[in-house]
Structure 1
Amino acid sequence: MAVSTDAVDRAIDEITGVPTDAGRIEVFAHGGASVVAERRGDAASACTVVLVHGIGMGRKVFADLVRHLENEALVVALDLPGYGDAPEPTRTPTIERMADLVAAYLRHLGRGPVVLLGHSMGTQVVAETAARHPDTVDRLVLVAPTVDRHRRRALRQLWRLARDLWGESPKVLLLGAREYMRAGPNLRRKMRAMLTHRPEATYARVSAPTLVVRGESDVVVPPEWFDEVVAAIPDSRGFVVEGHRHETLIRTAEPTARELGRWLSEQ
């Protein structure tokens, strides 16, 4: 008997701990591309945290982080154009265009400046958002920031990601495989847009207080690049998650969520 795609998707959600009950979902379009946003948590809170995923991923990889934050904040997880449930745009947007789209959504959200968190490629999008649209970002969080300017070639990036994933938890591998399949046949163009962007040229223009996070064993984000990112952003501080790799937020978000709460309370 044939098994529907929805049934497989739901089974993966159940196995990996992703909530099967959707939060408040909306599709927001701007400039020829769309994001899908899922809201959860305390809408009465003064704090809004918006989450932006990395290449090949989608909003569902943030399920564990949302679980840790939703009692203290309104948490909004995004699917960028062509990822997760967001429709594939006619043309693959640059990092700069995705940043403009995120900023337009934040203004639409109407919550004022937010805590904007990006993971992996998402750090490029959120850093660019903070630099280009500083009125939308109160504080910035960069988890596993890419792309290391010393190792920008596509094959080198893929090799490092493969090494990082070797021996990862089944949860990370299952969620990652599902989201990469969703990202579709244009993943090569999306990779090119990621590698073309120069985050090191953006960091000095970020005025928001910034927390930079790295997994201790992250092969994609080596220590020297992490230190360079922290040093390049005027008001920043670094945090290393012991025993974690590049997909630290997917494996378990508790250490990062705990440090994020501590950091926010100090601001």
Structure 2
Amino acid sequence: MPSVSVADARVRYERTGTGTGPALVLVHGTGSAGAALTWGQIAPLLARDRTVSTLDLSGAGETTDDGGPLTVEGLAAQVAAVIEDAGTGPADLLGFSMGAPVTAAVAALRPDLVHRLILVAG
């Protein structure tokens, strides 16, 4: 699983599919066990038609960090770094629960990386 460094975090992500449409980045909420449990069943289905990236934000899954405070802006920087590292921007961002304000922050801070937002309350 690839990873990218952001501040004191080593953010893990996975990229699947080779679709022709805009890439899709799936962002889980806080309190999640990570991308594998949140998106494990749906990501392969979505990857039939597009490239899908899932990531473990700080405090979830296999991402390591220094245990510092988590902010929406800090998590948005992690999502932006994954999009840049994977080379899949501009991408559609789907944010679930706390992932919704995180993806909205990515759009506000880095509109060049965002094609479309999909915000889901949880």
Q: How does the TM-score come out when normalised to structure 2?
A: 0.89
Deviation at 1:100, TM superposition (A): 1.7
Aligned equivalent of 2:11: 35
- Identify, as 1 or 2, the structure richer in strand: 2
Does structure 2 conserve the Cα–Cα contact (< 8 Å) formed by 1:82 and 1:88?
A: yes
The 2-side partners of 1:119 and 1:110 are apart by 22
- Identify, as 1 or 2, the structure richer in helix: 1
The 2-side partners of 1:79 and 1:107 are apart by 16
Greater Cα radius of gyration, structure 1 or 2: 1
Does structure 1 conserve the Cα–Cα contact (< 8 Å) formed by 2:57 and 2:78?
A: no
Aligned equivalent of 1:122: 99
Does structure 1 conserve the Cα–Cα contact (< 8 Å) formed by 2:8 and 2:65?
A: no
Aligned equivalent of 1:132: 109
Aligned to 1:88, the other structure's residue is in SS state coil
Aligned to 1:86, the other structure's residue is in SS state coil
Q: Which runs of 4+ in 1 moved over 4 A?
A: none
Instruction: Please show how residues 216-231 of structure 1 align to structure 2 within 5 Å.
Output: none
Q: Deviations over 1:5-28 (max 9, x none)?
A: xxxxxxxxxxxxxxxxxxxx1111
Higher relative contact order (CA 8 A, sep 6+): 2
The 2-side partners of 1:121 and 1:89 are apart by 21
Selected match of 2:42 from 65, 90, 97: 65
Deviation at 1:88, TM superposition (A): 3.3
Deviation at 1:54, TM superposition (A): 0.7
Q: Does 1:48 align with 2:29?
A: no
The 1-side partners of 2:65 and 2:5 are apart by 12
Aligned equivalent of 2:85: 108
Give the aligned CA root-mean-square deviation in angstroms: 1.5
The 2-side partners of 1:134 and 1:32 are apart by 24
Deviation at 1:67, TM superposition (A): 2.7
Instruction: Please show how residues 80-229 of structure 1 align to structure 2 within 5 Å.
Output: 80-144=57-121
Does structure 2 conserve the Cα–Cα contact (< 8 Å) formed by 1:53 and 1:59?
A: yes
In the alignment, residue 89 of structure 1 is paired with which amino acid? Answer: D
Q: Deviations over 1:134-173 (max 9, x none)?
A: 10100011011xxxxxxxxxxxxxxxxxxxxxxxxxxxxx
Q: Deviations over 1:5-63 (max 9, x none)?
A: xxxxxxxxxxxxxxxxxxxx111112222211011112x53421111101111102112
Deviation at 1:69, TM superposition (A): 0.7
Report which stretch shifted further, 131-140 or 106-115: 106-115
Q: Report sequence identity in percent.
A: 38
The 1-side partners of 2:93 and 2:47 are apart by 15
The 2-side partners of 1:98 and 1:89 are apart by 14
Q: How does the TM-score come out when normalised to structure 1?
A: 0.43
